[in-house]
Chain A
Amino acid sequence: MESDYKVKLEVFEGPLDLLLYLIKKEEVDIYDIPIERITNQYMEYLTLMQMLNLEVAGEFLVMAATLMYIKSRMLLPVDQQVADADEEDGVDPRWELIRQLVEYKKFKDAALQLGRREEEQSKVFTRQTVEIDVAANEAPLAEVSIFDLINAFNDVLKKASARDDFREIIEERFTVSDKIEEILYSLREHAEILFSELFAQAMSRTEIVVTFLALLELIRLKRLKVRQETAFGEIHVIRVAV
């Protein structure tokens, strides 16, 4: 029951964030991290977060394990260390972590400057964009009902089972949200595409179903419209200007 009350702490977005904070607080050299001290601090912090009932994301625990591992390797005399398969002899066990921290810190600094630019930019104004509905002047299209859509979907499925044959099984997992992005991506290049084109590349029944669900979701979100020129004609999927 207690877990219901957990709050997400945004202060340290991830383990790298927390490590950078500790390095700064302890005023130590990022290229020569005193691993034992920092590991102890890190563990203390995790305990504190758990005591405060804050949700500790899995990534924090993975980092804790990494730190412990590095610490244990540093404690071993050099000649007794077991070399990793893809690790050269004599490489500082901290190196990979340091590389990651240094790189992350650079992006974090860049983000800080971006934030300042955003602040400055929020004070300047330009002429406002007036939305012009280009579609208004084009050939009149009738709105499509959900039954037309299901009908068209059925056709696609039938065609798909007709071309079903024996082939290698590839495990591919499709999510509706991925498909949503894909549909929006193709609509970015063409303001309008045909319903059947959406499924032209589909490899499996599952993919067809997921694509259709994505389409329905986009219609619900009013991100796109479906129209047809004639009754039972081809269905057009049209982008809606946001």
Chain B
Amino acid sequence: MTAQLKNIVEALLFSAERPLSPKEMRTIFSEAIDEENPLAAEAHRNVREAQIAAALEELKVEYDTQQRSFQLVEIAGGWRLMTRSEYAPWLKKLLDEARPHRLSQPSLETLSIIALRQPISRADIASIRGVEVDGVIKTLLERDLITIVGRSEVPGKPLLYGTTQRFLEHFGLPSLEDMPKAQELRLQAAALKTAEAKVETAAAPKENEGQATANPQQN
């Protein structure tokens, strides 16, 4: 029974062209239909995410201990089968001829800023880097590593940028939390926001204070 679940998970991973999350797999289990053998699909109808996660973990260990040519990797919010790096020379020959060039230093810097401070405008990126970023932004948009995520409310309503799923895949990151320096730089940003919020509350009209003091009396 459990072996079968593991095999289904393996089959999904084997055929998928993108990372699959346990949640997505659970939906597949709950909706799959086997016309020839209805009971087979029915048996796994109510599989829980934890069971899928356990199967993934088992598969991962299996591939590692059996020293298979591929591995199961957690990337971009899901799991994906990937070849091991020692087979790169042959796979490059097979597939890689047209793989896009590696990113330049300015592109990597700009991406780090966007990844850690998104949503962010061009002007804010430029002020951190101390140089114009128009050209770099264009390249990153074309390569689908960043995308427009909205408009800022500040005057001029500049466009705001954020990173894409493709970005996580390109760098093999499970999530944005796994960005280098994520904690340090996020914390800094959070501290800035609290400071701003404090300034705003201080400047807010006094009515709020009146309400705040009125409430305890009602209780």
A, B assembled together: yes
Does B141 contact A117, Cβ atoms closer than 8 Å? no
Determine if B55 is an interface residue (Cβ-Cβ < 8 Å): no
B residues with a Cβ closer than 8 A to A are 14-18, 73, 80-85, 87-88, 91, 95-96, 99, 102-106, 108-109, 111-113, 116, 128-132, 138, 141, 144, 147-148, 159, 170-173, 179-181, 184-185, 188
Determine if A64 is an interface residue (Cβ-Cβ < 8 Å): no
Give residues 152-206 of A contacting B (CB, 8 Å): 177-178, 181-182, 184-185, 188
Are A123 and B108 CB-contacts (below 8 A) given A57-B131, A106-B184, A109-B180? no
Determine if A26 is an interface residue (Cβ-Cβ < 8 Å): no
In the bound complex, CA of A158 to CA of B15 (Å): 52
**Chain B residues closer than 8 Å to A103, beta-carbon distance:** 128, 188
Give residues 110-141 of A contacting B (CB, 8 Å): 110-115, 117-130
Chain A, residue nearest B136 (CB): A13
The count of residues in chain A whose C-beta lies closer than 8 Å to any C-beta of chain B is: 44
In the bound complex, CA of A211 to CA of B94 (Å): 42
Most buried by B among A113, A114, A122, A185: A114
Name A14's contact: one of B16, B18, B113, B129 (CB within 8 Å). Answer: B129
Determine if A213 is an interface residue (Cβ-Cβ < 8 Å): no
Are A128 and B17 CB-contacts (below 8 A) given A107-B112, A114-B111, A114-B112? yes
Are A188 and B147 CB-contacts (below 8 A) given A59-B130, A118-B170, A123-B85? yes
Does A124 contact B179, Cβ atoms closer than 8 Å? no
Known: A110-B181, A118-B171, A181-B148. 10 other contacts (CB 8 A): A13-B109, A14-B130, A100-B130, A107-B129, A114-B108, A125-B82, A125-B87, A128-B95, A178-B159, A181-B141
Does B17 contact A130, Cβ atoms closer than 8 Å? yes
**Chain B residues closer than 8 Å to A113, beta-carbon distance:** 180-181
How far is the CB of B129 from the nearest CB of chain A, in Å?
6
Does A127 contact B16, Cβ atoms closer than 8 Å? yes
Does A185 contact B148, Cβ atoms closer than 8 Å? yes
Does B85 contact A114, Cβ atoms closer than 8 Å? no
Determine if A70 is an interface residue (Cβ-Cβ < 8 Å): no
Q: Which 9 A-B pairs have the closest CB atoms?
A: A14-B131, A113-B180, A123-B85, A16-B130, A123-B88, A111-B108, A110-B181, A110-B112, A121-B172
In the bound complex, CA of A124 to CA of B185 (Å): 29
Determine if A242 is an interface residue (Cβ-Cβ < 8 Å): yes
Does A111 contact B102, Cβ atoms closer than 8 Å? no
**Chain B residues closer than 8 Å to A120, beta-carbon distance:** 85, 172
Are A117 and B128 CB-contacts (below 8 A) given A123-B85, A123-B88, A178-B159? no
